[in-house]
Structure 1
């Protein structure tokens, strides 16, 4: 039960936190309510305290006036006595008390009067009061102060009519012919307390109503402001989703209407620009496709003539024979460029189709390596294969996979700097992967994303052995995406590069992991050590790879997400 309660509380807190972060209106209303509550609460406290102080001050002034009059009257009545033991003294005291109390003690409008004398003088206390015990109401400190000839007051609590009531007590000395008598007025503050309570309740109710009104007003104002912003956000989301005809409704001529009009104008301009760019892109793709197709016919004618000349080159002079060889090589390169342009145009037009079938990738890898063996031998690069002895079956398009491998291995051989190139094939239950590792110049930070751009070269000034078109890796990336796979690159200056092709074992499945690691095991430690090297390479369309290290013994981990 405790775990369930904690889990529910955590979910509730998470929901509240998420709502707080996402709702501007909630934050504004909450801040308004809190600030107004503090402000109104402070004012309410000050006003209630002021009202209570005024009521107490009025009661004090009233009792003080009565006390002065009562002291003068009692003094006149008691000055005629010289001895405290005179027979009529007690009757005079009782009569004076009754007169000052207003006759009936129980109907004194809440005023209680008591006269007392020094106990050593033999005078007994005389009181007209429903208060049963004056001890809690008249403290010894107050009596001592009055006995010293001072007027004193205090607020005490006593019993009146069976209920404990707060009293305002005033005491004053009354000089007589036989000594000093003390006169006390005790006024219950029940009416003042009730009035103060009513005032506090009124102030609190008014404050609560004011806070709620401010909260409602803040909600309405923020709604007026937030609603157009939310509409703008939804409209922007629809625009980003491709619905370019979405617009905001313009109402009025205020700032929000200006915002909506400006947003609509921006959307119109964006739509116009996007349509223009799409049209230009369409025309460019059509131009590329048309030119590529149109060049096929003259290229075929030139190819036939070049083949005849190339076949008879031994009968020509050396300069002419060399020209025939150059012509044949450039025609081969030109034909390869046309083929790549046609393939790119099919990808751009969305006409590329995947002809997947169960294929054993082991002979595919061997076949591509054998075809590039002559190139590797000319540049002095050894091609090493690390493939399983058993078949590796996957539902792929063998023509496209072979083209990807041809591009990857050809680039590795070209940039291998006469060092071995390793080709590795791996498989698990859901995917197959092929890595091509070279130990050449490598890639600089950030270039692992650029290698898949069209016509991009890391160093255009380098002498090229293969005469590539600059479209091979772009086409390879599109082939990998068409399979639903990944084509990723890793590289570091001086450590070479590694490309990894990951394809789902069954056509249409979604990839989550790769059987082979992207960063090779022999890469230098990225955080120091005897060799300094690059850290990470990620290609577009891949989930990414992160190198964590160094650990003990140079171990490193790769996290793919």
Structure 2
């Protein structure tokens, strides 16, 4: 048979062809491919992140539900307390049952062992100590006799041991028992005492069974150094089955009792919580302006009295609020009507006063001075009337905000320019601090200028000639302007009333700037109309500082202010400079 060989040359020319190497797997990943382990790590990180976010959300929901539901809290606490109480009682009860069951078994086993020792003593009293066959026969016969006697403790196995020095012979009713005897039990019985132990002894199938082992020495006429011991092994499988059944019954009973008590707690809580929830809902609707809201009264118990009290309170509130609304409307109408009615005669009187004021040079000095005083007081009356009209518009909810982007540094400069003459009369310097970048906010320029004029005018009047510091600052969401004076200052009680209408810190003090006593009240309303804050800090002898905070965008909510309300470089009265 011929062997066909394969040539490496070309079939056509016979020229040798270079061998083609088999493609080897690339050790480095190709471009655009990621190692599988890297993708797996990223997936694991995303999965852990999602699991963390989910667990946080669930925890927040559970916490919110726990805080918002009284019924859930009562049910959970009742279940926890009832469960702990039932578990403790069940453990104590199960322990007592177990102790009594095992105690009765142990007492019966000990009594049976004592009778067995007496029988064994009669059987081995004449044992031939030197004859191994006789010893083995005697021990086997005795074990068989003990096994056939039975007793009240139930089934048992017997082990008899004969010791003579280091020599030991044994006879057993079942071979698995003797190796399972504890060493401390051997030692205690060897010392001449009766003892018992609980141990795991293999049964005929090799499974370990809880067993009560009772051992005792057998008195004999043997020589010194020789002894006979007998051991009884009482399986506790029946007792174990009984305890398992009792344990299962106790567990089921505990669970049912706990759920039953928790159900009672939830039911009782619901009977109380539902009327409270209805009362809370009614109170919320009442607070929202539904003055006709009332609760349904059922029965004559405490909850019915709560509903009756709530309805009585709602009736009283509705009556008082209706009266207050009527009084407020009457007061607003009176203020508005008086202000409008006074406008025409005031204009006429002011025109006449202007004529007298221009001709005062032709009058006697006393009459000329009276004309000047008349003109000044009419100007103050004009300011008061304008402020009253403005307050009436706020009270009627008719104030309208005409907001547009404004550069706040320009507003501050205009206010400072208008107050320069007043500051000069009081020998007061106006100091302006502002950032280099423009601060633009959507505000009503007329109202913001009015607020700043009121604040700067008050600072000049109460600054006792000290410099008045005006500071402008801004952050990403808000702009703030502070007006700081170093005059008499304000106490904590004064700061709480400084925005009240017609309020003065010192009623006996004569105003030098003039005003209606409504300037700060109108300023506060102007700030609120912008969605901003107007706040004050003061300390007696250390001056005061007002802070106006406005959102940069109209309608935005304020979170913080770019400037602190309390001055940073504060020098307390009496401190050294």
Partner of 1:24: 70
- Structure 1 residue 191, shift from structure 2 partner: 1.1
What secondary structure, in the 3-state scheme, does the structure 2 residue paired with 1:102 have?
Answer: helix
C-alpha distance in 1 between matches for 2:485 and 2:377: 28
C-alpha distance in 2 between matches for 1:392 and 1:87: 118
C-alpha distance in 2 between matches for 1:34 and 1:389: 65
Partner of 1:47: 93
Partner of 1:332: 379
- Structure 1 residue 3, shift from structure 2 partner: 5.9
Partner of 2:148: 102
2:451 maps to 1:408: no
2:254 maps to 1:207: yes
C-alpha distance in 1 between matches for 2:255 and 2:183: 41
Partner of 1:245: 292
Larger CA deviation: 285-294 vs 173-182: 173-182
The structure-2 alpha-carbon separation of the partners of 1:322 and 1:192, relative to structure 1 and needing over 3 Å to count, comes to: same
- Name which of 213, 218, 223 aligns with 1:169: 213
C-alpha distance in 2 between matches for 1:82 and 1:429: 111
Partner of 2:517: 470
2:389 maps to 1:345: no
Larger CA deviation: 465-474 vs 375-384: 375-384
The structure-2 alpha-carbon separation of the partners of 1:218 and 1:456, relative to structure 1 and needing over 3 Å to count, comes to: same
- Name which of 230, 237, 257 aligns with 2:304: 257
Aligned pairs for 1:139-154 within 5 A: 139=183, 141-142=185-186, 145=189, 148=192, 150-154=193-197
Partner of 2:157: 112
- Structure 1 residue 430, shift from structure 2 partner: 6.7
- Structure 1 residue 418, shift from structure 2 partner: 3.2
- Structure 1 residue 448, shift from structure 2 partner: 4.4
Partner of 2:7: none
Instruction: Report Cα offsets for 1:87-120 as digits up to 9, x if no partner.
Output: 999777655544442389xxx9622234555558
Aligned residue pair count:
525
C-alpha distance in 1 between matches for 2:208 and 2:404: 99
Q: How well do the aligned residues superpose, as a CA RMSD in angstroms?
A: 4.3
Instruction: Report Cα offsets for 1:468-505 as digits up to 9, x if no partner.
Output: 11011222222333344444444444454444545556
- Structure 1 residue 372, shift from structure 2 partner: 4.7
Partner of 2:267: 220
C-alpha distance in 1 between matches for 2:469 and 2:221: 129
In 1, are the aligned partners of 2:542 and 2:572 still within 8 Å (CA)?
no
What secondary structure, in the 3-state scheme, does the structure 2 residue paired with 1:469 have?
Answer: coil
Larger CA deviation: 460-469 vs 5-14: 5-14
Partner of 1:185: 232
Partner of 1:275: 322
Partner of 2:507: 460
2:243 maps to 1:196: yes
TM-score by length of 1: 0.77
- Structure 1 residue 318, shift from structure 2 partner: 3.5
What secondary structure, in the 3-state scheme, does the structure 2 residue paired with 1:167 have?
Answer: strand
C-alpha distance in 1 between matches for 2:366 and 2:573: 56
Partner of 2:31: none
- Name which of 193, 200, 209 aligns with 1:157: 200
The structure-2 alpha-carbon separation of the partners of 1:36 and 1:530, relative to structure 1 and needing over 3 Å to count, comes to: farther
In 1, are the aligned partners of 2:189 and 2:217 still within 8 Å (CA)?
no
- Structure 1 residue 456, shift from structure 2 partner: 1.6
In 2, are the aligned partners of 1:131 and 1:158 still within 8 Å (CA)?
no
Runs of 5+ consecutive residues of structure 1 not aligned to the other structure: 532-561
